[in-house]
Amino acid sequence: MIIAIDGPAGTGKSTIAKLVAQALRFEHFDTGAMYRTFTWWLMHQSIDPGDASAVEKAIASFDFNIETKGDDKRYFAHGHDVTSAIRSLEVTEHVSKVAAIHYVRAHLVKIQKQFAEKNNAVFEGRDMGSVVFPNAELKIFLTASPKVRAERRLAQLKEKDPNTTTTLEKVLEEINARDKADRTRHNSPLVEAKDAKVIDTSDLSITEVIEEVIRLWTLHAPVEKCTLFYRACRGIALGLIKLFYRHKVSGMEKVPRGAAILASNHVSFLDPPIIGTSCPFPVHFFARASLFNGAILRFFISRLNTHPLQYGDHELAAMKMACQLLEEGKKIILFPEGERSFNGNIKKLKPGAARIALRTGAPIVPVYLEGVFNVWPRTRSLPRLLGRTRCHFGEPIDPASYAHLPKKEATEKLNQDLMEAICALRTP
Same domain, 238 and 274: yes
Tell me, what CATH number does 389's domain have? 3.40.1130.10
Q: Nearest-CA neighbor of 391 among 287, 275, 288, 267?
A: 275
How confident is the model at residue 282, as a pLDDT?
95
The Cα–Cα gap between 178 and 117 comes to 31
The Cα–Cα gap between 181 and 166 comes to 21
Q: Nearest-CA neighbor of 427 among 399, 397, 390?
A: 390
Of these ranges, 171-185, 278-292, 335-349, the one predicted with the greatest mean pLDDT is 335-349
Same domain, 276 and 150: no
Contact indicator for 26, 122 with CB cutoff of 8 Å? yes
Contact indicator for 398, 259 with CB cutoff of 8 Å? no
Q: Which of 182, 199, 220 finishes a domain?
A: 220
Bridge partners, 308 (sequence order): 287
Same domain, 209 and 253: no
Q: Nearest-CA neighbor of 224 among 328, 371, 333, 358?
A: 328
pLDDT band at 233 (very low <50, low <70, confident <90, very high): very high
Question: Each residue of 244-273: pLDDT tens digit?
Answer: 999 999 999 999 888 899 999 999 999 999
Q: Nearest-CA neighbor of 49 among 2, 105, 94, 4?
A: 94
Query: Is residue 166's pLDDT more than 90?
Result: no
Query: Is residue 72's pLDDT more than 90?
Result: no
Question: Each residue of 98-139: pLDDT tens digit?
Answer: 888 888 888 988 888 888 888 889 999 888 999 899 999 899
Same domain, 284 and 418: yes
Within 279-313, residue ranges assigned H as helices are 295-302
How confident is the model at residue 406, as a pLDDT?
94
pLDDT band at 315 (very low <50, low <70, confident <90, very high): low
Same domain, 207 and 255: no
Average pLDDT in the chain: 89
Q: How much is the pTM?
A: 0.67
Tell me, what CATH number does 77's domain have? 3.40.50.300
Same domain, 174 and 294: no
Same domain, 212 and 126: yes
Same domain, 209 and 290: no
Number of domains present in the structure of the chain: 2
Beta-carbon-side half-sphere exposure of residue 126 (alpha carbons within 13 Å): 26
Which residue range forms the structural domain that includes residue 235? Answer: 228-424
Contact indicator for 222, 1 with CB cutoff of 8 Å? yes
Q: Nearest-CA neighbor of 127 among 106, 148, 145, 147?
A: 106
Query: Is residue 311's pLDDT more than 70?
Result: no
Same domain, 269 and 394: yes
The Cα–Cα gap between 395 and 365 comes to 6
Q: Which of 186, 220, 254 finishes a domain?
A: 220
- What angle, rounded to 10 degrees, do the helices at 102-118 and 31-44 form? 140
The Cα–Cα gap between 55 and 41 comes to 10
